[in-house]
A = this chain, B = another copy of it.
């Protein structure tokens, strides 16, 4: 794949936070098959977006049925998830948030693990060996300095490794955003700051996070480039990330990418978006749906048909069924695990507490029996 980047000019978000100007979105960007991707790659972009959407909907259903806990859905942002994940090279490091289950899975976290996480199981925190993904961060923007440190470590050790860190529009208002980008610019670190501007931080529109027209332009304050891309266009996202990674790998420092996107659903399953958004706004974004629009293109290019669609959906369904079964078939959580992995060696005080808890559990089970 090439390093060519579609540099979308930086445009402003509307004052109601409803996203970029309409003319920002390419209406029919590529009439013929793009030369910089193989058919397999193009398929995989589409397939992974479908997978993530199905995954997401499945989790929402599970949540409603009480089979998992709170979940942060990603529907609408699939092009961001897939474009970023697939542009990363083997060994590149991902630092995600709670909304990046998609990217995390594409970078090697098992589906079952993600399910376990949202089901409140410590096993959901396990990261397989060889998978360079950080635990998802809940505290907004606090992962950005971690990414900077990870990238710094790579530079010091002369590893050919770029770190990609994900965050939302809201995260740009936190001090840690500033401190991280400042370090990255100053030390010229191999890191890509990937902002999914989905227009809202829970209920707060992007226009109430900042007085600037865009988030991308904030990179100016740190001495490196900011780019804005159509986050509904998986190829645009891919190219922007791919380019930023290549640049970072060449030792030319960090990039801030702002991808314009939208979450169709609630912030999390505890949120009610009708409190702060209109149906009309949602509809506008749905018309630029990353999956539908890419399906249309693939079909235009003669690369996709109903048979492929069917086959893939069956595969996805099977994967998900299996993952849910394996989550639900897992042995029950063990209370004593509370004490594991906090220190390399459990200190005496905690050993005593662990023993006390085990007694408590035995007592409870004894009573229950």
Q: Using a CB–CB distance below 8 Å, which chain A residues touch chain B?
A: 173-179, 182, 185-186, 188, 208-213, 217-218, 220-224
Q: Kindly state the separation between the CA atoms of A364 and B209 in the bound complex, as whole angstroms.
A: 58
Contacts of A210 in B (CB 8 A): 182, 185-186, 222-223
| Partner pick for A222 among B177, B188, B212, B224, CB 8 A cutoff | B212
| Partner pick for A212 among B208, B212, B221, CB 8 A cutoff | B221
Contacts of A177 in B (CB 8 A): 178
Are B174 and A179 in contact (CB-based, < 8 A)?
A: yes
Given contacts A178-B179, A212-B220, 17 further A-B contacts (CB under 8 A): A173-B179, A173-B182, A174-B175, A175-B176, A177-B178, A178-B178, A182-B211, A185-B212, A186-B210, A210-B222, A211-B223, A211-B224, A212-B222, A212-B223, A218-B221, A220-B220, A221-B221
Chain B residue with the shortest CB-CB distance to A172: B182
Chain B residue with the shortest CB-CB distance to A141: B175
Q: Kindly state the separation between the CA atoms of A176 and B178 in the bound complex, as whole angstroms.
A: 9
| Partner pick for A217 among B175, B221, B224, CB 8 A cutoff | B221
| Partner pick for A221 among B188, B208, B220, CB 8 A cutoff | B220
Q: Give, as a whole number of angstroms, the nearest-CB distance from A130 to chain B.
A: 34
| Partner pick for A186 among B176, B209, B213, CB 8 A cutoff | B209
Chain B residue with the shortest CB-CB distance to A218: B221
Q: Can you list 18 A-B pairs, Cβ within 8 angstroms, ordered by A?
A: A173-B179, A175-B178, A177-B178, A178-B178, A182-B209, A182-B210, A185-B210, A185-B212, A188-B211, A210-B222, A212-B220, A212-B221, A212-B222, A213-B223, A217-B220, A218-B221, A220-B220, A220-B221
